[in-house]
Amino acid sequence: MQVPAEAAGTRADVFLASALEHTTRSAAARLLEDGRVTISGKPVAKNYKLSGGETLTVILPDPEPTEALPENISLDIVYEDDDVIVVNKPKGLVVHPAPGHPDGTLVNALLYHCGASLSGIGGVLRPGIVHRIDRDTSGLIIAAKNDFAHQKLSAQLADHTLARTYECVVVGNLKEDSGTVDAPIARCPADRKKMAVVAGGRRAVTHWAVVARYPGFAHVRCQLETGRTHQIRVHMAYLGHPILGDTVYGAKKPVSGLQGQCLHAVGLKFIHPRTGKLVELSCPLPEEFRDMLAKLARRK
């Protein structure tokens, strides 16, 4: 990984803890102590001060095999056939098991519903999962039922033919009616729990358009060209218009009537991996989103 210029002077273990997902500083230190982190083939000490611009090579150990188990969790299925399943995920449901969320996830629900009919490409913790949406973001997510479908859908993610449309409410009044944010995203060097627009990060592109305006707020539709972690949330905050209810990238105080950010994956479009036909799906805005729009409309 490329070390951004703003990380100059940061200890190697501190930087790795912020740059690697689900990695504590002690875990980063173990990687360094085990010689799994090098610069130009030479191992890096945990207290090494980065100069910025160098390239770190990190060899991660194999994950411990922990298998997700089926759980009888209700699913709102929007589309299903022998190759794919599309679910309208509610807020609060984590997509796959992770530290702090070992069960009760969408993966556990899919394993119960689909049985053995999920692709194995994502591994035992992420069977069938082609892409993710945040815990407190609702809406459409697609999963693959076999490796053939998974490979085809992953290729569409890479070439942007798998299109995802979101709607959100942002704070403030956008000056333009539409626009594009083309700004690279990476793990925030100062806070490993957050993402940020960072020079040298992975390219991230979000197209947006205003659906409606309210005093101090706007209803916005976003089209993802890329799919980085927290992309829409980071890009809207980067524009100076964080998503309403986003306590990570916006105001720290929760918004009454909202669970997390007011963000919903409303549309999904993809080429069916087996038939080659275009599939376009949509789902309605959740009740709390509609209630918030009604509340904002009464302020006009």
Residues with catalytic function: 134
Amino acid at 287: E
Dihedral through CA 45, CA 47, CA 49, CA 50, nearest 10? 50
Main-chain dihedrals φ then ψ at residue 121, nearest 5 degrees: -65, -35
Bridge-based pairing state of the strands 138-144 and 263-271: parallel
The region, left, alpha or beta by phi > 0 then psi within -120 to 50, assigned to residue 284 is: beta
CA 117 – CA 120 distance, rounded (Å): 9
Annotate 103-139 with DSSP letters as a single string: SSSHHHHHHHHHTT-S-STT-SSSTTB-S---TT-EE
221 CB neighbour count, 10 Å cutoff: 16
Main-chain dihedrals φ then ψ at residue 238, nearest 5 degrees: -65, -35
Q: How many residues does the chain have?
A: 300
Main-chain dihedrals φ then ψ at residue 232, nearest 5 degrees: -65, -40
Element of type H or E holding 236: helix 231-238
Q: Which of 135, 127, 90 is nearest to 108 (CA)?
A: 127
